Amino acid sequence: MALLEITGASVQFGGLTAVNEVSFQAEPGEVRALIGPNGAGKTSLFKAIAGEEPLSAGTIRFQGAPIHDLTPHEISARGVRRTFQNGGLFGELTALENILAGLHTRIPSSFGGLLLGTRAAKTAEKNGTRKARALLEMMGIPHVADQWARDLSGGQQRMVEIVRALATDPPLLLLDEPAVGLAPPARAELMKIIRRLVEEENIAVILIEHAIEFVMTVCDTLMVLNNGELIAEGPPEEVRRNREVLEAYLGR
Amino acid sequence: MKLTRSVFWLLPIAALALPLLVNPYHQYVVNLILVYVVVGVGFNIVVGNLGQLAFSNVAFFGIGAYASAIFTTQLGIPWWLTVIPAGVVGAIAGCAASIPALRGVRLFYLAIMTLAFGELMRWSYIRTPALTGGSMGLTVPPAELFGWVLESETQKFYVFLVIVVVIVVAVSRILESRIGRAFLSIKNDERAAAAMAVPTGRYFVLAFALSGFVVGIGGSMYAALVGHLSPEAFDLVQLILHFAIIMVGGLGSLVGSILGAVLITATPELFRDWPGFEELMFGIVIVIVILFLPRGLASLLARVHPIFKDRYLRED
């Protein structure tokens, strides 16, 4: 049983077919990259996996159970976490509070407990804070904990967003253009982190990216979308030589 | 000596001595300030924390006030026993007011719909004379607490002070918890909040209900304070007052709700002896504060000492 199993998935906006009968499977311990020209349907496919866009046909199963009829928060609670192409961080919260927001479902304090200030509610909040600090430490950015998210540099914001998505140890992580706006050293660092997560934590990562060199180095499987259709899927070097891909995507 | 947040307790303790220093009229104004502290704290939950342009506050305020008055006059329940039920009725109104937002209505569209809710309630107070006294209004008998009649402003002050302290502490605990973070997450980016497994719909209802509960209690206090309710007390001018309190105090700030209530309620009273000046000064104070302190009075206090820094007041 695959971790994520997409079968014949289509997404339509009125008369426009953004994703057309796409099928693939993702396994734990692999990085899949999704590339394609602008408007190819990459983000629409991501949104469909995350429950933000309904499918017009097909199914999406996660850990064996269908998730395409669930709401985004239900899908997230099951262990599919994502980052966003633009924004996504809560600018009015500190980096630490952003991670705590990511841990929302893991802080088991009841409304009554919070109201009365019970020991259990205080302990839950303390444990959450401890875990959030440990995560920032693990990612090498403990110094940003108490800074407003909106004041962080682009690279730091990306890292905090990834840490926030990882806070609940999700089996599947969707990264929407994680390398955009990052300087080469930050990209290299991000690449190392993604590889480490996949190899050590055995999670699956699916990422959308335009930076081809980054994609070629980081992924195990490369998928190419064009006009909503999956035109190639395989090891990056193999896909790179695919004639259809060269014509559609690289324009050669 | 390092100051901690426990110094905030000095404020209500010091306030205990206030009746010794003021005359009954000023005591009435102080009591009105306490009512508006509660109203500001409740209003800020939806506008400042959840970030929604929802103006159903006057509806909650009126519903709480009339609920308390009707329970007292029609059912003969002593006022103090109607405070929580008035909050509950306010919370139910809050759930109803959250429906447009749950349907995806936002910004100006939400503003106009919630304004309409307030006006609809005012129309209802006029059109149900059997319950509300219609346009003639409803006289509320003096509040009673364990056979102790709350007739003097001083007596009301002590009861109101307890209510305010309980509400400020309770709301502060909620806002500083994962629930408060969920509200702010929704305010910042609703789609990202859902992607963090925050059930955004449920938190919309919770924020509106909590706001309705708190403001409903404010309405109940108002009924006990003024002794007579009339529909025009719950019109758009009342809404402007509520909005001014949270804007002048500081959006999303508890400390701001308190400061805003003090300034906005006290300013017209200071100029009562000069007819025409009260409205003028009310406007001037709002303009000056918004112009020079766009994040409200709370941002000024935050510069004095870090403990005054409201955790959820963000300074630019």
Across B31-55, b (16+ Cβ under 10 Å) vs e yields: bbbbbbbbbbbbbbbbbbbbbbebb
Element spanning A88, H or E:
none
Rounded CA separation A249/A34 (Å) = 12
Rounded CA separation B264/B113 (Å) = 26
The confidence score (pLDDT) of residue B315 equals 45
How far B213 CA lies from chain A's nearest CA (Å)?
14
The confidence score (pLDDT) of residue B278 equals 85
Rounded CA separation B31/B157 (Å) = 6
For the stretch A45-48, contacts whose Cβ atoms lie closer than 8 Å and that sit 24 or more positions apart, written own/partner, are A45/A9, A45/A11, A45/A19, A45/A225, A46/A82, A46/A174, A46/A176, A46/A206, A46/A208, A47/A11, A48/A9, A48/A11, A48/A19
**Residues of chain B positioned with their CB less than 8 A from the CB of A114:** 173-174, 177-179
**Residues of chain A positioned with their CB less than 8 A from the CB of B188:** 89-93
Instruction: Give the ipTM.
Output: 0.93
Is A109 close to B174, i.e. CB distance below 8 A? no
Its CATH class, for the domain covering A1-79+171-181+207-252, is: alpha beta
Is B181 close to A101, i.e. CB distance below 8 A? yes
The residue of chain B nearest to residue A99, with distances taken between CA atoms, is: B196
Which of B178, B192, B199 comes nearest A90 by C-beta?
Answer: B192
Q: CB count, 10 Å around CB of B83?
A: 23
Structure tokens at A13: 């906006």
Rounded CA separation A105/A95 (Å) = 18
A120-149 pLDDT, tens digit each = 999 999 999 999 999 999 888 999 999 999
The confidence score (pLDDT) of residue B116 equals 94
Q: Tell whether B6 is within 8 A of chain A (Cβ).
A: no
Say if residues B86 and B240 touch (Cβ distance below 8 Å): no
Q: Tell whether B314 is within 8 A of chain A (Cβ).
A: yes
Q: What's the pTM value of the predicted model, to 2 decimals? A: 0.93
Say if residues A214 and A194 touch (Cβ distance below 8 Å): no
Is B173 close to A115, i.e. CB distance below 8 A? yes
Mean pLDDT of chain A: 93
Residue A157 phi/psi, 5° resolution? Answer: -60, -40
Rounded CA separation A173/A193 (Å) = 13
Question: Can you give the length of chain A in residues?
Answer: 252
Per-10-residue mean pLDDT, chain B, length 316? 75 88 92 98 96 95 97 92 97 96 90 93 94 92 80 92 96 94 96 96 97 98 95 94 95 92 92 86 91 89 76 48
Q: How distant, in Å, are the alpha carbons of A115, B72, B136, B140, B214 from that of B86?
A: 19, 11, 22, 14, 9
Helix axes of B79-102 and B107-127: crossing angle, nearest 10 degrees? 140
The confidence score (pLDDT) of residue B299 equals 87
The confidence score (pLDDT) of residue B2 equals 64
Q: Tell whether B167 is within 8 A of chain A (Cβ).
A: no
A2-28 pLDDT, tens digit each = 999 999 999 999 989 999 999 999 999
Longest dimension (CA), chain B: 61
Say if residues A107 and B178 touch (Cβ distance below 8 Å): yes
Is A109 close to B178, i.e. CB distance below 8 A? yes
- The domain spans of chain A are 1-79+171-181+207-252, 89-166
Beta bridge partners of A73: none
Residue ranges of the alpha helices (H) in chain B? 10-15, 18-21, 24-44, 57-75, 79-102, 107-127, 129-132, 153-175, 178-188, 190-195, 200-226, 236-249, 254-270, 277-292, 297-304
How far B189 CA lies from chain A's nearest CA (Å)?
6
